[in-house]
Amino acid sequence: MRVSELARAERPREKLLERGPEALSDAELLAVLLRTGVSGEDVLELARRWLKEAGGLESLARADARQIMNRKGVGLAKGAVVAAALELGRRLAKRNLVGQQLLDRPEVAAEYLTLRYGHARVEVFGALTLDVRHRLLGIYELHRGARAHAEIEPAEVFNKAIVDNAHAVILWHTHPSGDPAPSGDDEALTRRLAEAGRLLGITVLDHLIVAGSGFVSLRQRGIFSSP
pLDDT attached to residue 150:
47
Residue 125's DSSP bridge partners are: 143, 173
Number of H helices, E strands in the chain: 9, 5
Top pLDDT among 96 and 165 is at 165
Q: What is the pLDDT of residues 51-89, one digit of tens each?
A: 998 888 877 877 778 888 888 878 888 889 998 998 888
- Whether the full predicted model's pTM is greater than 0.85, yes or no, is no
Q: Which CATH architecture has domain 101-217?
A: 3-Layer(aba) Sandwich (3.40)
Cα 60 to chain centroid, rounded: 11
5 or 183: whose pLDDT is higher? Answer: 183
pLDDT tens by residue, 88-125: 887 887 777 776 666 667 888 888 888 788 777 788 99
Residue by residue, DSSP assigns 39-104 as TTB-HHHHHHHHHHHHTSHHHHHT--HHHHHTSTTTHHHHHHHHHHHHHHHHHHHHHTTTT---TT
